[in-house]
Amino acid sequence: MNALTFKNGDKMPIIGLGTWKSKPGEVYQAVLWAIESGYRHIDCAAIYDNEKEVGIALEKAFKDNMVKREEIFITSKLWNSCHRLEDVQPALKKTLRDLKLDYLDLYLIHWPVSFKHGVGFAQTREEYYTYSDVPLSQTWEGMEHCINAGLTKHIGVSNFNISKLTEIMKSASLAPEMNQVELHPFLPQNKLVDFCNKNGILLTAYSPLGSGDRSASIKMPDEPSLLENKIVREIADRTGLSPAQVLIAYSLTRGIAVIPKSVNKERISQNLAAMDIRLSTQDMKALSQIGTSFRYVSGSFFTGAISPYRLSDLWEQE
Q: What pLDDT, on a 0 to 100 scale, did the predictor assign at position 23?
A: 78
Q: Residue ranges per domain, the chain? A: 3-313
Residue 64: exposure state from Cβ atoms within 10 A (0-12, 13-18, ≥19): exposed
Nearest Cα to 277, choosing from 255, 245, 302?
A: 245
Are the C-beta atoms of 245 and 271 separated by less than 8 Å? yes
- CA separation for the pair 222, 23 (Å, rounded): 25
Look at the domain 3-313 and name its fold. Answer: TIM Barrel (3.20.20)
Query: Which residues are catalytic, by number?
Result: 48
The three-point CA angle 48-38-53 to 5° equals: 30
Known binding positions for substrate: 110
Known binding positions: 110
- CA separation for the pair 61, 136 (Å, rounded): 36
Q: What pLDDT, on a 0 to 100 scale, did the predictor assign at position 260?
A: 94
Per-position pLDDT tens, the chain of length 318: 699 999 999 999 999 999 987 777 899 999 999 999 999 999 999 999 999 999 999 999 999 999 999 999 999 999 999 999 999 999 999 999 999 999 999 999 999 999 999 999 999 999 999 999 999 999 999 999 999 999 999 999 999 999 999 999 999 999 999 999 999 999 999 999 999 999 999 999 999 998 665 455 555 777 889 999 999 999 999 999 999 999 999 999 999 999 998 889 999 999 999 998 999 999 999 999 997 789 999 999 999 899 999 999 999 875
- Phi and psi at residue 127, to the nearest 5°: -85, -5
Nearest Cα to 308, choosing from 65, 147, 132, 149?
A: 132
What is the value of pTM for the model shown? Answer: 0.95
